[in-house]
Amino acid sequence: MIVRLRELINVVCFLKNKIKINMVIPVFRGSKGEDFEVFLREYKQACIGTRLRTTTEWLNFLPEFLEGTASHWFERHMEELKGSWIDITKALVKEFFVKNVYQNLILELNQLKQGALELVKEYKERTLKL
């Protein structure tokens, strides 16, 4: 049922905007290794692309794109967060933040060294890509 609703929303958004590229709104399950911040960025871009411009609109559709652990967590905490987009997204990031991503990034930065023949500009660009 939820998957069908999601498909209908994607098709409606496609038709409403008369765009040639069908923008698919992502799904977040809260599974191990899934990054909520990546989902959130993609979700916001998709919402803006489908003319859902306000945080109230984003929040109204959010439960349709949560499944599994994330959906259950959202249902349990919705009332205490009082429906605020900022509070809910902060709480979701805190709950589902991928700690390994941060730790791996710190490790990569600590191990990053400038090559013997590498220009400072190249080293800086390589560092900023992390």
**Rounded mean pLDDT, 11-37:** 66
Is residue 74 a contact partner of residue 89, using CB atoms and an 8 Å limit? no
What whole-number distance in Å separates Cα of residue 105 and Cα of residue 128? 12
Kindly provide the b/e burial profile for residues 43-69, where b requires at least 16 CB atoms within 10 angstroms of the residue's own CB.
Answer: beebbeebebeebeebbebbeebbbeb
Instruction: Please report the pLDDT score of residue 16 as a whole number.
Output: 45
Q: What is the pTM of this model?
A: 0.58
Instruction: Please report the pLDDT score of residue 22 as a whole number.
Output: 54
72-80, long-range: CB within 8 Å, 24+ apart, which pairs?
A: 73/30
Model confidence pLDDT, tens digit, residues 70-103: 999 888 887 777 767 888 888 888 888 765 566 6
**Rounded mean pLDDT, 11-22:** 48
Distance of CA 27 to the CA centre of its chain: 9
Q: What is the mean pLDDT of the chain?
A: 76
